[in-house]
Amino acid sequence: MLNGPNLRRLGTREPDVYGAASFDDLVALCRDAARHLDLHAEVRQTDDEAEMVRWVHQAADERLPIIINPAAFTHYSYALRDALAQRTAPLIEVHISNPAAREEFRHTSVVAGVATGTIAGFGLMSYVLALQAVAELIAEKKV
């Protein structure tokens, strides 16, 4: 689970938009939800675009599903989009808020076109829903 810029500031950054839960709360929620789905969730956050691209390459090389909240990278990072296009497993884009209901510049996602799907607007539950989607997609491949 990869998280882009400013997400480590959850709980203090615009709580009216992103809620009061901290990044540590998000990590605990994701790990617990993954465990209940018989998955392992590694939750990472970076403000560095190059580091995010390296993580995506690593996941592609290891054929790992990716759940990503690209944050601000969503709207302009063609480098991240090109890296995500190399995916070798399910890719779910998540957002805590609903970008379509926010400022106009947030309405365009350059990564959505290479994602398996997008889940947005459900607060931290967006991550749990993404984990459920990954679990289902993995189960379908095993059949």
Residue 97 assigned to a binding site = yes
Which of the residues are catalytic? 18, 95
Cα separation of 67 and 43, whole Å? 9
Structure tokens at 141: 């491949």
CB atoms closer than 10 angstroms to residue 68:
27
For 97, residues 6+ apart whose C-beta sits below 8 A from its C-beta are 17, 18, 120, 121
Residue 75 assigned to a binding site = yes
CB atoms closer than 10 angstroms to residue 10:
23
Residue 96 assigned to a binding site = yes
Report the half-sphere exposure of 14 (CA within 13 A, side-chain side): 7
Residue 82 assigned to a binding site = yes
Binding site feature residues? 69, 75, 82, 96-97, 106
Binding site feature residues for substrate? 69, 75, 82, 96-97, 106
